[in-house]
Chain A
């Protein structure tokens, strides 16, 4: 097996497996099943106070804790990277409380918890992608009231969202939303994909993996089942388009990946490298062989 799989860590005694008590897991599991049955609908759930702050992935952590089993292999990324501080912290949390194996390799993981990115490596049927979500309500910035947005979803009344996007077009000539770009799921609910760059939106469509979304502070869980139509909202005369990078990754030479801009000196020097550290390192290692 690859060196990327960490040793199976010792589980810390004194906590239940994966931290949550069984009653809380049951409650979250029921919410997940409803979320799968009604793709894109935000199921309210009684989010618990977790030992990490709200806004730092408590929703994703609760979803992962509820589905995680001993034979799972867990990968945690933030900004596409396994070694960003919050990804490290969450991966350690699960290593300590569940003792499951962890990995940085996308292809080896059975559960991938993510903040802000979808891995570049295509996901497969055996995988679950768990998103950390800050604001699950795609209509929230058009209508701050929960009582109102709930009605809008019930009536499938999404005109305001189209108006907002169209205002962008009349002002800028194109839609000026670059991340958390709203999608329509299975032809019914408009859904927030979490603050992933819109570059990643096409990966959600017809994806072989199950996608689960957890918003702890806002107490919502939602889902996109595998092989489900996920359409980024657009207009016939202004079709949805993703960001394009004019140059390849400076480390691995890949094009077609999402790139981070790294400031290299204080005189305007820049380089562009893959945001997905796993695929970048894999390609660099392969090239070196």
Chain B
């Protein structure tokens, strides 16, 4: 006799064993080390840290190894681990103006104090497969840059613009505690800090597509890349019992300051406005996309019509998280046969009713 889905426990155990085997792959091929992933898949590690909301390159690399390279799965592992960590408080805001810059470019000025620093970038490479990489490769050391007289001073482009009042001032720290969307449910409308948290954790692909949509007219923001900078900053924390800041270490960040034209409104003079993006490691695409969407989400605050998806905070915030999205999409794999049964019965009933009426109509036609 047929009995529906029995033996779930054994099936799950076996699936787990198969997964472990598939993860390892051909045992004749040397196993990847976490250090190798961290060093050689560095941008992937950065993405996992950014969307996982946890700065720990080794952990992110391990998560990628365990997840067989599936980014969303790796982010999931990092997030699930993150929730189990005790929370001591919030750090002092990091000072990106004091960043040890390894890359820094501005699209709005030809040259500026501190210079344009290209750093490691794909930007000007020809995307030709380098077959030499298929073999083990030695690489030439990069040339040292000619030191500039103003090296080491790297003021933010937005600070330069602010001196002339051409750009809206950076919002002042009002001392109010910053919300934490991992600890409180989002209440709409969400303030900018919470929106930025959601965007930083949000799926890179989703944020990228939203940003792209603003460029194609769905909520235009007239953006210029004021500056992108990549480098390390100090993180400090003020323990209650000490009352002064204690350095905890350094993190690598990518910051994007988008400068957006603004014609002014009844309340504000014409000036440039800001869109802000920040990510862990080197994640320029993410930081730029985040900055564009941040600016788009400020539509209401700046008196612009809210007409496009990227300007609609309920739409963006409720759908940008890859874990929420993947969980709910993939949960359709779970059995739904009870509800399907209810729908089957309904569709059969509706079809029977439909056939009755069309039969009746057919009879009538024949009689005429």
Q: Which residues of B contact A10 (CB under 8 A)?
A: none
Are A79 and B12 neighbours in the complex by a CB distance under 8 Å? Answer: no
CA distance A53 to B337 in the complex (A): 20
Are A271 and B2 neighbours in the complex by a CB distance under 8 Å? Answer: yes
Are B324 and A79 neighbours in the complex by a CB distance under 8 Å? Answer: no
Pick the residue among B314, B326, B330, B341 that contacts A260 (CB under 8 A): B341
Interface size class of B (residues with CB under 8 A): 35 or more
CA distance A72 to B42 in the complex (A): 47
User: Which B-chain residue is minimally distant from A56 (CB atoms)?
Assistant: B331
CA distance A172 to B351 in the complex (A): 11
Pick the residue among A78, A145, A243, A262 that contacts B314 (CB under 8 A): A145
Interface size class of A (residues with CB under 8 A): 35 or more
- Give per-residue flags for A178-193: 1 if the beta carbon is below 8 A from chain B beta carbons, else 0: 1110000000000000
A273 within 8 A of B: yes
CA distance A261 to B337 in the complex (A): 8
**Interface segment, A83-91, A159-167, A203-211?**
A83-91
Are A89 and B12 neighbours in the complex by a CB distance under 8 Å? Answer: yes
**Interface segment, B101-109, B162-170, B184-192?**
B184-192
Q: Which residues of B contact A130 (CB under 8 A)?
A: none
Pick the residue among A56, A80, A84 that contacts B327 (CB under 8 A): A56
Instruction: Name which of A15, A173, A178, A195 has the most chain B CB atoms within 10 A of its CB.
Output: A178
B342 within 8 A of A: yes
Are A85 and B11 neighbours in the complex by a CB distance under 8 Å? Answer: yes
Q: Which residues of B contact A88 (CB under 8 A)?
A: 8-9, 12
Are A46 and B345 neighbours in the complex by a CB distance under 8 Å? Answer: no
Are B345 and A78 neighbours in the complex by a CB distance under 8 Å? Answer: no
CB distance from B178 to the nearest CB of A (A): 15
Q: Which residues of A contact B337 (CB under 8 A)?
A: 79, 260, 275
Say yes or no: A83-B185 contact (C-beta < 8 A), given A117-B338, A173-B353, A262-B4. no
Instruction: Please report whether the interface of chain A is mostly helix, strand, loop or mixed according to DSSP.
Output: loop
Are B350 and A44 neighbours in the complex by a CB distance under 8 Å? Answer: no
Are B4 and A260 neighbours in the complex by a CB distance under 8 Å? Answer: yes
Are B345 and A243 neighbours in the complex by a CB distance under 8 Å? Answer: yes
Instruction: Please report whether the interface of chain B is mostly helix, strand, loop or mixed according to DSSP.
Output: helix
CB distance from B74 to the nearest CB of A (A): 14
CA distance A49 to B9 in the complex (A): 24
Are B327 and A54 neighbours in the complex by a CB distance under 8 Å? Answer: yes
A199 within 8 A of B: yes
Say yes or no: A116-B8 contact (C-beta < 8 A), given A49-B83, A145-B314. no
B344 within 8 A of A: yes
B80 within 8 A of A: yes
Q: Which residues of A contact B345 (CB under 8 A)?
A: 178, 243
Q: Which residues of A contact B338 (CB under 8 A)?
A: 79-80, 116-117, 179, 196-197, 258, 260, 275
- Give per-residue flags for B110-127: 1 if the beta carbon is below 8 A from chain A beta carbons, else 0: 000000000000000000
Pick the residue among A45, A49, A78, A217 that contacts B80 (CB under 8 A): A49
Residues of chain B touching chain A, judged by Cβ–Cβ distance below 8 Å, are 1-9, 11-12, 76, 79-80, 82-84, 86, 182-189, 314, 318, 323-324, 326-331, 334-339, 341-346, 350, 353
Residues of chain A touching chain B, judged by Cβ–Cβ distance below 8 Å, are 15, 21, 44-51, 53-56, 58, 78-81, 83-89, 92, 115-117, 134, 144-147, 172-173, 176, 178-180, 195-199, 217, 219-220, 243, 251, 258-262, 264, 271, 273, 275
Q: List 19 A-B contacts (CB under 8 A).
A: A48-B182, A53-B327, A55-B328, A78-B334, A81-B5, A85-B5, A85-B11, A88-B8, A172-B353, A199-B342, A217-B328, A219-B186, A243-B342, A251-B3, A260-B4, A260-B337, A261-B344, A271-B2, A273-B4
For the complex of A and B, the 6 pairs showing the least CB-CB separation, nearest first, are A54-B327, A55-B331, A178-B342, A53-B327, A55-B328, A44-B185
